[in-house]
Structure 1
Amino acid sequence: MAPTTAARPSGAASGSVLGPVIRFWQSSYASDYAGFTLLLAGYICIQFFVEPFHRMFYINNLNISFPHAVVERVPVAMNFVYALFIPLFLLLLYNTIAGSSVHKHHVSILGIAIALVLASTVTDIIKNMVGRPRPDLIARCSPTAGTPINTLVSIDVCTETNHHTLHDGWRSFPSGHSSFAFAGLGYMSLFLAGQLQIFILSTTDDKVHVRGDLGKVLVCLTPLLGAAMIAISRCQDYRHDVYDVCTGALLGWTIAYWSYRRYWPHLGSLRCSEPYPDPGPARRDDAANYGRIRDEEEGIRED
């Protein structure tokens, strides 16, 4: 009988050029980073190459006849400061002071990054598909003299030559500032609520109490107040109406919660201040769910 061909040693693959790539992909967060990269690339492409659907409009429509604010209360750059850089700095500062592990630093950053880029991408996709006129569309458009009133007209009547100023007039719904603010600051609020354990229940003398006092609750609500102020500023600048900012806020908050729960237990868990464990290669066999257990199995004590 011919000798059986020996199996290739498992170390051969690891020693090849693809070895580091394979090991990285087999780690639990490889798909997260791949997804984040694709989302970021998609968002950049939307910004540079996609124009919105242009709804027809009436030039005497008072709902879109507000003045165009050249100077915004919260410019795009400052929204990045308020909803990205400040929360990121505070997350790192808190974890550093608390002496947190590298894993906790890692998932804190990864969670807020995914929340922000996903909220931005989804918001811009909806914006361009809906093509809702902003409240300041007429000022942006500068219709040609003699454009008939009480008649639906298209973008063809506009004389504005600045491409961004004109086409951005059809990106009203939902508010991007609002979704971005509630994604970043909303994630920060959830993080603080978990670290301060404001929703954990305990019992004394057969009575149920909430551990988090009002001071801790207010600390956790502060980021949400900041996000609400950013959203309100968009109405003050006549960039959006209440419908736009409320929808954007709900979208951003929903994505923030979804991203947070991918890495952290629910806020009523006794372990809410620590992220789910890192399911590295040593945990792969018994950590198909990233080491998670169901919410009702978290072991919340009521006695």
Structure 2
Amino acid sequence: MPMSMAPSGHTRDSRNRTRAGSLGTLGSIESKHGGGLIGSVSRWWMRSYTSDWVAFSLLLVGYIFIAAFVEPFHRLFTINDIRISFPHAEVERVPVSHLFAYALFLPLFLLLLTNYLLHSPRHIHHLSLLGFLTSIILTTFLTDLIKNMVGRPRPDLIARCQPLPDTPPNKLVGVEICTQTDHHTLHDGWRSFPSGHSSFAFAGLGYLALFWCGQFRAFSTSSSSSPGGGSSGIMDGMEKVLVKRDLLKALLCLSPLLGALMIAISRCMDYRHDVEDVCVGSLMGWVITYWSYRRYWPRLSNGRCGEPYSGMNGERGDQGDLLGGNGARRYSRVRDEEEAVGGGGFQRNVGTSSFVSPPDVELGPLESPR
């Protein structure tokens, strides 16, 4: 006997109550902060990236404090240790002023220029700058913190120290036997690990490389394409289209990393660092910049890797902005489109925060087994 199966009223009512409950939750969060000045400040804090900028400011203050007032731990050494007896280069291949030009101002200019040429919206401009500066200051802060705690002698420590003539060899001695009068030259001799030039170079130029990879989709494996040729973030009724990878784009994105590598190698050529210092510093800068980048952008293989995450949870407005319960703009970090649950289940896409659930469909009659 044929029998009809249709969604019951109870199921449809449950779904409606769930959606209403979600909106009610947002409303309760809004009302929890109350009105007046405190409520306004709380809502503004939640809907903006103010906390990120406050954290950036704290890191900047911490770095300035370390650079100005903290002296490194001074490891004991012997004056006949050949590993720290290399000559002191008075003129560096990449001095600090050049490092700032190559790894800070140049990447920042190219990043802003890229956004300008691509006609990027203000949200992308904002997150590009925030992610870049976060990568720079976090890398610098952690590098200097570790440098001072480890206190590893540089390869040119003996030349910096200028030990007393009667200092005995084959005996552990400390900083008190040094005759160097320049405070920075002397104490900087115990800041070898990790390499600050290397970590800084990979933080600045590395972020530019990641940003270019995302904006030019150099490593994007697929994109969602509708039968009509248009593109959308929602995958229902669409098919995945493989994307050809462009070698020229990949080489362009690789060029900042090559520049960072050259800066790192120059530190060994100037006898400022050992190979271990440079390798650890480079790896540290790259890991931190990748972490900073992924806080705001999806992975590079994503079809929409050029679009940043949105921020706090909310609903999409008419212009594609996310709107909260009272119409205020919200932002929300969401999943990549590859992470959607298959078949018409819940879909999450870059740039949207609302779940896409299958519509209510009346099923036709089904025949029972014979």
Q: Return closer, same or farther for 1:242/1:209 CA change in 2, 3 Å cut-off.
A: farther
Larger deviation: 66-75 or 291-300?
Answer: 291-300
1:231 aligns with 2:251: no
1:264 aligns with 2:306: no
Q: Return closer, same or farther for 1:295/1:67 CA change in 2, 3 Å cut-off.
A: farther
Query: In the alignment, which residue of structure 2 is the partner of 1:142?
Result: 162
1:47 aligns with 2:80: no
Instruction: Tell me the distance in 2 between the aligned counterparts of 1:19 and 1:75.
Output: 49
Q: Return closer, same or farther for 1:284/1:254 CA change in 2, 3 Å cut-off.
A: farther
AA matched with 1:157: I
- Gaps of at least 5 residues in structure 2 are 1-30, 224-240, 315-321, 341-347, 350-370
Query: In the alignment, which residue of structure 2 is the partner of 1:290?
Result: 332
Cα offset, 1:71, TM superposition: 1.2
Q: Return closer, same or farther for 1:106/1:65 CA change in 2, 3 Å cut-off.
A: same
Cα offset, 1:264, TM superposition: 0.3
- Gaps of at least 5 residues in structure 1 are 1-7
Do 1:193 and 1:267's aligned partners in 2 also have CA atoms closer than 8 Å? yes
Q: Return closer, same or farther for 1:11/1:55 CA change in 2, 3 Å cut-off.
A: closer
Do 2:311 and 2:331's aligned partners in 1 also have CA atoms closer than 8 Å? no
Q: Which one of the candidate residues 179, 201, 209 is aligned to 1:181?
A: 201
1:131 aligns with 2:151: yes
Instruction: Tell me the distance in 1 between the aligned counterparts of 2:159 and 2:80.
Output: 11
Q: Return closer, same or farther for 1:283/1:255 CA change in 2, 3 Å cut-off.
A: farther
Do 2:143 and 2:196's aligned partners in 1 also have CA atoms closer than 8 Å? yes
AA matched with 2:287: T
Query: In the alignment, which residue of structure 2 is the partner of 1:99?
Result: 119
Cα offset, 1:277, TM superposition: 1.8
Query: In the alignment, which residue of structure 2 is the partner of 1:5?
Result: none
- For 1:80-229, list aligned pairs within 5 A: 80-202=100-222, 211-229=244-262
Do 2:89 and 2:270's aligned partners in 1 also have CA atoms closer than 8 Å? yes
AA matched with 1:68: H
Q: Taking every aligned residue pair, what percent have the same amino acid on both sides?
A: 60
Query: In the alignment, which residue of structure 2 is the partner of 1:4?
Result: none
Number of aligned residues: 285
Instruction: Tell me the distance in 2 between the aligned counterparts of 1:91 and 1:20.
Output: 34
Instruction: Tell me the distance in 2 between the aligned counterparts of 1:239 and 1:284.
Output: 54
Q: Return closer, same or farther for 1:74/1:147 CA change in 2, 3 Å cut-off.
A: same
Instruction: Tell me the distance in 2 between the aligned counterparts of 1:279 and 1:175.
Output: 37
Q: Return closer, same or farther for 1:284/1:132 CA change in 2, 3 Å cut-off.
A: farther
Instruction: Tell me the distance in 1 between the aligned counterparts of 2:332 and 2:165.
Output: 63
Q: Which one of the candidate residues 48, 71, 82 is aligned to 2:91?
A: 71
Do 1:28 and 1:290's aligned partners in 2 also have CA atoms closer than 8 Å? no
Q: Which has the larger radius of gyration?
A: 2
Query: In the alignment, which residue of structure 1 is the partner of 2:310?
Result: 277
Q: Return closer, same or farther for 1:150/1:260 CA change in 2, 3 Å cut-off.
A: same
Instruction: Tell me the distance in 2 between the aligned counterparts of 1:293 and 1:218.
Output: 28
Do 1:39 and 1:117's aligned partners in 2 also have CA atoms closer than 8 Å? yes
Q: Return closer, same or farther for 1:44/1:20 CA change in 2, 3 Å cut-off.
A: farther
Do 2:60 and 2:137's aligned partners in 1 also have CA atoms closer than 8 Å? yes
SS of residue paired to 1:66 = coil
Query: In the alignment, which residue of structure 2 is the partner of 1:251?
Result: 284
Do 1:197 and 1:211's aligned partners in 2 also have CA atoms closer than 8 Å? no
The TM-score, its normalising length taken from structure 2, stands at 0.72
Per-residue Cα deviation, 1:31-65 (whole angstroms, up to 9, x for no partner):
10111010000000000110100000010111101
Q: Which one of the candidate residues 230, 241, 251 is aligned to 2:274?
A: 241
Q: Return closer, same or farther for 1:80/1:88 CA change in 2, 3 Å cut-off.
A: same
Per-residue Cα deviation, 1:177-202 (whole angstroms, up to 9, x for no partner):
00000011111000111111121224
Per-residue Cα deviation, 1:188-224 (whole angstroms, up to 9, x for no partner):
0001111111212249xxxx96522111110010000
Per-residue Cα deviation, 1:128-187 (whole angstroms, up to 9, x for no partner):
010000000000000001100111111110000111110000000000000000011111
Instruction: Give runs of ≥4 in structure 1 deviating > 3 Å.
Output: 18-24, 278-285
Instruction: Tell me the distance in 2 between the aligned counterparts of 1:133 and 1:185.
Output: 27
Cα offset, 1:291, TM superposition: 3.1
Cα offset, 1:24, TM superposition: 3.6
Q: CA RMSD in A?
A: 2.6
AA matched with 1:263: Y
